[in-house]
C-alpha cells in the first residue's frame, strides 16, 4: 500500500529496531536480546531522548530496504539490562500500530518515518468480540489456553481492538502469522480470523483422530495449531533453562527455587506479562557467578612494583597494603575476617586508583559501586519482585558485572550515603560487610542466599564523621592525607603531564616546565590537597599549546620542545587566582593565623579581633560553630584571669566590646583547634602588640592555660606550606606525629611544640609598635 500525501504530511521520525523473529503486538511486552550495534544504537538513542521506538519485523529474511510500507508497532522501552556477552536485554511494551513509510539504516541510529494507524471500531466488531470471548472461555476449559489471568482481562475488556491483540498474543506463536495479524488494521477482521482459529482448535481437541476441521474463509493461510506451538516453545525454553541451571553451580537451595520458577514458566504463555517477569528473574539468578572464581596470586614483589608504578609517595599506606597482602599469602587468600579497608582522604589523593592497584596485584577483577547520593535501602538489598520494574541491588549487580564470585568491589563515596523514608542504606551495608552475615546475604529480588565471603570489599570516603558508628566499627580506616608541594611536582612530572600530552595529541617531549613554573602552577593556580585541579590546569595548558600549533600551520612531527616559564603560564592561563601569603606581609594587631581541616584538606583560618568601647559583650561572626564559639569564650576567660600579667587593664571587660571575626563567612567553621589562635588574637588586640605574620597556630586550650592536641596535623602543616609560611606553633602532645610529615616539608617548616598558652604568646607576639 503506497503512502498517501496526507500520510506523508503527518509522518513522524522515530528510532527503529529491526527484528528477525519477534513480532510485538500492541498491548504486549517482550524481552528482546539486542546484539547488533545498529540495534543498540537505536535503543540508546530512544532511551536518551525519552522517545518511543518503532519495532519492525522481517520474518522472511529480506534486507531492510523497503519497497512498500510495512506495519509495525510503536513501543516504549521499559528496561535495558547489559549482559556479560555484550548483548542488551531490552524489555519493550507495544503501544499502537504504525505504518513505516521509509526506513533509514545508514544513520548512526536507524530511523523510520512512520504514520500512526487508528483502527476503526464498528458495531460488527463489538458483536464479534463477544463471540470471541465465549470461544476463548471454551478453549480455556478444554486445554487451559488462554490462561486464567488473560481470560479475566478479556472479560473486562470492552475495546474490540485491544481484545483482538491481547488474544492474538496468547494464541499465535508463528512469526509470519503474527505479522499478518498485525497488518490487519480493522479489529473485526482480526477477530474473525481468531474465532476461526479457535473453532478449528476446539474441533481438533474434540476429535483428535479426525481430520482437521477446515478454517473459515480467510486471507490467512497456514494457521498454526495453537496447543502444539505453545507447548513446544514453552517446553524447549524450560529445557534450555534447566541445562543452564545444571551447569551454573548454584547451591541446592537456589537450584530448588529456580526449578520451581522454571516449572511455573513452562505453564505460562511465553508472551504474557507474568512470563516475562518470571523469565527475567530466572535469567538474573542464572547470571550470578555462583561457582566461577578467579585464582588469587599474591606476589609481594609484584605488588610493590604495581604500587610504585601507579602512585608516588604514600609510603605508610603502601606498607599497610603490603602487610595485608602478606597476611593473605600466609592464609591462602583469607585475610583477617574483620578487615574491610577504607581509604579516607581528600579528593584527588589516589583512593580509587589504590583499590584498582590492589585488584591488579591480586589478579582479581575490579568493580566499582558508586554510593554517592544513594538514599534507598533497596539500592543495596534489591527491590522485591512484587514491585513493578524490580531489579537486584547494586552488590548483586556488581557480582554479575564482574562475572566471578571473588572480585574486588570498591564501595566508592561511602560517606555520601543519605537517609530518607525509603530506609537507611548505611544500615543495609552492615550485612554486606559483616563476615558473620555476608555468607548468607539475601538480596530482596533474588530472595535466595548469596555468598559474599569471597569478595574483597574496599571502601573510600572523604571523612568518617558522617558514617554511623556501627558501620565505622566494621571498617579499618587508612588515611590518605594531602600531598606536599614536592610530591605534587613529582606526580605532575611523572604521571599527569605525560597523560595530558598524550590526550591532546602532543608528543611527550613537546613541553618542559621549569622548576619555577611548577612552583607557580602548584601554589598560584591550585589550592587543594590532591592533584585533580593540577591536572585540570595542565590540561588547559596543553589545549592552549595545541591551538597555537594548529593556528601556525605546524604538525606534531615538526613540533619542537616548548619551555614553559611562569611568564608563559600567566600568558596562557591568565593571572594566578590564588595569592601566596609570604613572611614579608606586615604584622598586624588583632590578626592571628589559625588552621582548620576540611574533607578536601587543611586550610588557613585567619582570626580577627577588634575591641571598641562598650559594656563587655563578645560577638563571634563568620559562620562559627558552637564548639568554636565556646573556644572563644574560654579564650576570653583566660585572658581576663591573666590580664595583669599580660599588661592589660583588669577592667577592660566593663568598658569594651570585643568582636571576633573569621573571614570567608560563606564557609562554616567548627572545632576547638582554633583556641590558640583566638587567645593570641585577643591578647594582641587588647595589648596592641602585633602578631607575627609568618607563623600559624593550632591547638585546643583549657582554662588552666594548657594546650591540648589536635587532629589532622599533617593536613594543617601542608596548608601552612601552601600558604607560604615557614613556622608553625602546635601542641607538644602532637610531637609524636612529626614522623608523619613529609621529609621535604619537615626541612622547610619550623614547628614549635608548646604545652602552655604563655609559650605560644612568647613565640607569636611582637613588642609594641612604639617599642620596636
pLDDT tens-digit profile of 433-482? Answer: 988 888 889 999 999 999 998 899 999 998 888 899 999 998 999 988 87
Binding site feature residues: 345-352
The pLDDT assigned to 9 comes to: 39
* pLDDT tens column, 109-124: 888 888 888 888 888 9
pLDDT category of residue 74 using cuts at 50, 70 and 90: very high
The pLDDT assigned to 228 comes to: 42
The pLDDT assigned to 772 comes to: 39
Residue 293 falls inside a structural domain: no
Using CA atoms, how far apart are residues 30 and 275, in angstroms rounded to an integer? 10
| pTM as predicted | 0.65
CB 622 within 8 A of CB 662: yes
* pLDDT tens column, 746-767: 888 899 999 999 999 999 999 8
Residue 616, Ramachandran bin (φ over 0: left; ψ between -120 and 50: alpha; else beta) = left
Burial of 575 (0-12, 13-18, 19+ CB in 10 A): exposed
What's the grid cell of residue 562?
616548548
Q: Considering only residues 212 and 450, tell me which one the structure prediction assigns the higher pLDDT.
A: 450
Q: Which phi and psi (to 5°) does residue 217 adopt? A: -55, 125
The whole-chain average pLDDT of the chain stands at 84
In sequence order, the β-bridge partners of residue 408 are 366, 456
Residue 224 falls inside a structural domain: no
pLDDT category of residue 75 using cuts at 50, 70 and 90: very high
* pLDDT tens column, 694-718: 899 999 999 999 999 998 888 888 8
Q: Is 528 in the same domain as 652? A: no
Q: Which phi and psi (to 5°) does residue 673 adopt? A: -70, -10
What's the grid cell of residue 180?
499478518
State yes or no: pLDDT of 214 exceeds 60: no
Cell numbers 574496599 correspond to 458
- The angle, 0 to 180 degrees and rounded to 10, between the axes of the packed helices 273-287 and 252-266 is 160
Residue 170 falls inside a structural domain: yes
Angstrom distances, CA of residue 65 to CA of 24, 71, 540, 754: 20, 14, 48, 85
557 Cβ contact list (under 8 Å, min separation 6): none
Please give the average per-residue pLDDT across 608-633, as a whole number.
91
How many domains in the chain? Answer: 6
Tell me the three-class secondary structure of 720-739, residue by residue. HHHCCCCEEEEEHHHHHHHH
Angstrom distances, CA of residue 743 to CA of 176, 489, 595, 730: 78, 15, 21, 18
* pLDDT tens column, 349-369: 889 999 999 999 999 999 999
Residue 217 falls inside a structural domain: no
Q: Is 624 in the same domain as 707? A: yes
Please give the average per-residue pLDDT across 561-586, as a whole number.
80
State yes or no: pLDDT of 81 exceeds 60: yes
The pLDDT assigned to 731 comes to: 95
- The angle, 0 to 180 degrees and rounded to 10, between the axes of the packed helices 351-362 and 315-330 is 30
Using CA atoms, how far apart are residues 561 and 627, in angstroms rounded to an integer? 55
Q: Is 176 in the same domain as 98? A: no
Q: Is 97 in the same domain as 169? A: no
pLDDT category of residue 174 using cuts at 50, 70 and 90: confident
* pLDDT tens column, 281-321: 999 999 999 988 888 888 899 999 999 998 888 888 899 89
Cell numbers 597476611 correspond to 327
Please give the average per-residue pLDDT across 319-336, as a whole number.
80
Q: Is 621 in the same domain as 748? A: yes
SS3 state at 34: strand
H-helix or E-strand spanning residue 15:
strand 12-19
State yes or no: pLDDT of 553 exceeds 90: no
The pLDDT assigned to 583 comes to: 46
Burial of 44 (0-12, 13-18, 19+ CB in 10 A): middle
Please give the average per-residue pLDDT across 52-57, as a whole number.
88
326 Cβ contact list (under 8 Å, min separation 6): 298, 300
The pLDDT assigned to 339 comes to: 75
Binding site feature residues for ATP: 345-352
CB 701 within 8 A of CB 638: yes
In angstroms, the first-to-last Cα distance of the chain is 103
What's the grid cell of residue 219?
486471507
* pLDDT tens column, 495-538: 999 999 999 888 888 888 999 999 899 888 988 888 999 999 99
The pLDDT assigned to 213 comes to: 40
In sequence order, the β-bridge partners of residue 603 are 596
The pLDDT assigned to 324 comes to: 87
pLDDT > 70 fraction of the chain, expressed in percent and rounded: 89
State yes or no: pLDDT of 64 exceeds 60: no
The pLDDT assigned to 556 comes to: 66
The pLDDT assigned to 108 comes to: 77
Residue 371 falls inside a structural domain: yes
Angstrom distances, CA of residue 470 to CA of 8, 31, 412, 414: 65, 42, 18, 14
Please give the average per-residue pLDDT across 74-94, as a whole number.
83
Q: Is 637 in the same domain as 676? A: yes
Chain centre distance of CA 306: 26
What's the grid cell of residue 626?
558552637
Residue 377 falls inside a structural domain: yes
pLDDT category of residue 334 using cuts at 50, 70 and 90: low
Enumerate the active-site residues: 673, 716
Domain boundary among 573, 596, 614: 573
Least confident of 66-75, 188-197, 331-340, 655-664: 331-340
Q: Is 535 in the same domain as 597? A: no
Residue 149 lies in domain: 123-209
State yes or no: pLDDT of 663 exceeds 70: yes
237 Cβ contact list (under 8 Å, min separation 6): 265, 266, 270, 279
User: How many other CB atoms sit within 10 Å of the CB of residue 770?
Assistant: 6
* pLDDT tens column, 256-267: 999 999 988 887
The pLDDT assigned to 516 comes to: 92
SS3 state at 344: strand
pLDDT category of residue 662 using cuts at 50, 70 and 90: very high
CB 241 within 8 A of CB 284: no
Q: Look up the CATH number of the domain holding residue 551.
A: 1.10.8.60
pLDDT category of residue 212 using cuts at 50, 70 and 90: very low
Q: Is 604 in the same domain as 718? A: yes
What's the grid cell of residue 472?
565505622
Q: Is 320 in the same domain as 420? A: yes
Using CA atoms, how far apart are residues 345 and 478, in angstroms rounded to an integer? 9
Q: Is 629 in the same domain as 556? A: no
Q: Is 311 in the same domain as 450? A: yes
The pLDDT assigned to 748 comes to: 83
Domain boundary among 455, 479, 503: 479
Q: Is it true that the peptide bond before 146 is cis, omega within 30 degrees of 0?
A: yes
State yes or no: pLDDT of 11 exceeds 80: no
Q: Is 24 in the same domain as 148? A: no
Cell numbers 573510600 correspond to 460
Using CA atoms, how far apart are residues 740 and 319, in angstroms rounded to an integer? 13
The pLDDT assigned to 399 comes to: 94
Q: Considering only residues 519 and 62, tell me which one the structure prediction assigns the higher pLDDT.
A: 519
CB 245 within 8 A of CB 239: no
Q: Which phi and psi (to 5°) does residue 535 adopt? A: -65, -35
Domain boundary among 543, 573, 603: 573
Please give the average per-residue pLDDT across 410-416, as a whole number.
93
What's the grid cell of residue 733?
602532645
Provide the Cα torsion 524, 527, 533, 534; round to 10°.
50
In sequence order, the β-bridge partners of residue 714 are none
Cell numbers 604545652 correspond to 755
Q: Look up the CATH number of the domain holding residue 379.
A: 3.40.50.300
Helices (H), 496-560: 497-503, 515-524, 532-551
**Per-residue b or e along 232-242, where b marks 16 or more CB atoms closer than 10 Å to that residue's CB:** eebeebbeebb
Residue 367 falls inside a structural domain: yes
Residue 457 falls inside a structural domain: yes
Amino acid at each position: 500500500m503506497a503512502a498517501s500525501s496526507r500520510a506523508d504530511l503527518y509522518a513522524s521520525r522515530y528510532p527503529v529496531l529491526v527484528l528477525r523473529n519477534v513480532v510485538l503486538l500492541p498491548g504486549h511486552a517482550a524481552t528482546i536480546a539486542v546484539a547488533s550495534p545498529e540495534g543498540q544504537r537505536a535503543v540508546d538513542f530512544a532511551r536518551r531522548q525519552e522517545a518511543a521506538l518503532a519495532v519492525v519485523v522481517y520474518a522472511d529474511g529480506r534486507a531492510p530496504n523497503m519497497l512498500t510500507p510495512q506495519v509495525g508497532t510503536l513501543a516504549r522501552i521499559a528496561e535495558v539490562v547489559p549482559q556479560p556477552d555484550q548483548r542488551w536485554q531490552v524489555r519493550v511494551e507495544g503501544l499502537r500500530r504504525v505504518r513505516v513509510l521509509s526506513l533509514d539504516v545508514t544513520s548512526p541510529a536507524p530511523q523510520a518515518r512512520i504514520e500512526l494507524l487508528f483502527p476503526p471500531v464498528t458495531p460488527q466488531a463489538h458483536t464479534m468480540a463477544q463471540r470471541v470471548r465465549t470461544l476463548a472461555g471454551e478453549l480455556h476449559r478444554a486445554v487451559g489456553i488462554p490462561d486464567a489471568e488473560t481470560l479475566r482481562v478479556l472479560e473486562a475488556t470492552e475495546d474490540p481492538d485491544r481484545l483482538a491483540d491481547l488474544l492474538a498474543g496468547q494464541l499465535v506463536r508463528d512469526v509470519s502469522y503474527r505479522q499478518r495479524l498485525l497488518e490487519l488494521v480493522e479489529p473485526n477482521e482480526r477477530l474473525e480470523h481468531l474465532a476461526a482459529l479457535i473453532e478449528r482448535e476446539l474441533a481438533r481437541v474434540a476429535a483428535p483422530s479426525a481430520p482437521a476441521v477446515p478454517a473459515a474463509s480467510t486471507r490467512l493461510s497456514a494457521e498454526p495449531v495453537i496447543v502444539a506451538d505453545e507447548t513446544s516453545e514453552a517446553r524447549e525454553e524450560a529445557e534450555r533453562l534447566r541445562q543452564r541451571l545444571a551447569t551454573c553451580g548454584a547451591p541446592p537451595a537456589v537450584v530448588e527455587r529456580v526449578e520451581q520458577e522454571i516449572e511455573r514458566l513452562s505453564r505460562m504463555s511465553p508472551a504474557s506479562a507474568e512470563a516475562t517477569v518470571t523469565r527475567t528473574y530466572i535469567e538474573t539468578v542464572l547470571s550470578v557467578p555462583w561457582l566461577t572464581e578467579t585464582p588469587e596470586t599474591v606476589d609481594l614483589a609484584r605488588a610493590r612494583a604495581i604500587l610504585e608504578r601507579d602512585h608516588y609517595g604514600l609510603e605508610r599506606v603502601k606498607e599497610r597494603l603490603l602487610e595485608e597482602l602478606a597476611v593473605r599469602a600466609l592464609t591462602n587468600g583469607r585475610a583477617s575476617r574483620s578487615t574491610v579497608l577504607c581509604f579516607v582522604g581528600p579528593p584527588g589523593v589516589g583512593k580509587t586508583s589504590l583499590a584498582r592497584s590492589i585488584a591488579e596485584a591480586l589478579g582479581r577483577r575490579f568493580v566499582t559501586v558508586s554510593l554517592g547520593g544513594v538514599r534507598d535501602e533497596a539500592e543495596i538489598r534489591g527491590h522485591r519482585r512484587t514491585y513493578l520494574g524490580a531489579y537486584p541491588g547494586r552488590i548483586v549487580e556488581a557480582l554479575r558485572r564482574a562475572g566471578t564470585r571473588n572480585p574486588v568491589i570498591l564501595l566508592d563515596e561511602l560517606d555520601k550515603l543519605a537517609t530518607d523514608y525509603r530506609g537507611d542504606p548505611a544500615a543495609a551495608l552492615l550485612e554486606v560487610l559483616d563476615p558473620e552475615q555476608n555468607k548468607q546475604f539475601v538480596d530482596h529480588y533474588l530472595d535466595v542466599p548469596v555468598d559474599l565471603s569471597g569478595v574483597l570489599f574496599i571502601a573510600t570516603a572523604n571523612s568518617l564523621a558522617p558514617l554511623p558508628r556501627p558501620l565505622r566499627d566494621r571498617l579499618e580506616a587508612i588515611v590518605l592525607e594531602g600531598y606536599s608541594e614536592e610530591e605534587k611536582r613529582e606526580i605532575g612530572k611523572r604521571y599527569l603531564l605525560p597523560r595530558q600530552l598524550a590526550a591532546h595529541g602532543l608528543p611527550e617531549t613537546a613541553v618542559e616546565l621549569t622548576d619555577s613554573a611548577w612552583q607557580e602552577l602548584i601554589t598560584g593556580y591550585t589550592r587543594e590537597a590532591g592533584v585533580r585541579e593540577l591536572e585540570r590546569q595542565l590540561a588547559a595548558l596543553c589545549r592552549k599549546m595545541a591551538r597555537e600549533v594548529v593556528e601556525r600551520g605546524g604538525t606534531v612531527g615538526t613540533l619542537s620542545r616548548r619551555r614553559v616559564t611562569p611568564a608563559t603560564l600567566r600568558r596562557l592561563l591568565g593571572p594566578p587566582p590564588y595569592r601566596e601569603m609570604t613572611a614579608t606581609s606586615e604584622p598586624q594587631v588583632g590578626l592571628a593565623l589559625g588552621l582548620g581541616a576540611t574533607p578536601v584538606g587543611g586550610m588557613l583560618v585567619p582570626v580577627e579581633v577588634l575591641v571598641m568601647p562598650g559594656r563587655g559583650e563578645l560577638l563571634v561572626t563568620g559562620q562559627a560553630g558552637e564548639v568554636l564559639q565556646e573556644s572563644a569564650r574560654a579564650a576570653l576567660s583566660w585572658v581576663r584571669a591573666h590580664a595583669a600579667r599580660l599588661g592589660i587593664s583588669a577592667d577592660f571587660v566593663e568598658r569594651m566590646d570585643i568582636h571576633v571575626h573569621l573571614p570567608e563567612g560563606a564557609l562554616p567553621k567548627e572545632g576547638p583547634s582554633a583556641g590558640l589562635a583566638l587567645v593570641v588574637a585577643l591578647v594582641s588586640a587588647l595589648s596592641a602588640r602585633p602578631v607575627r605574620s609568618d607563623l600559624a597556630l593550632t591547638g585546643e586550650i583549657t582554662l588552666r592555660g594548657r594546650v591540648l592536641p589536635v587532629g589532622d596535623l599533617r593536613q594543617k602543616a601542608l596548608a601552612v606550606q601552601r600558604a607560604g609560611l615557614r613556622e608553625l606553633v602546635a601542641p607538644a602532645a602532637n610531637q609524636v606525629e612529626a614522623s608523619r610529615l613529609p621529609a621535604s616539608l619537615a626541612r622547610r617548616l619550623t614547628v614549635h611544640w608548646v604545652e602552655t598558652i604563655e609559650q605560644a604568646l612568647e613565640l607569636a607576639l611582637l613588642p609594641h609598635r612604639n617599642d620596636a
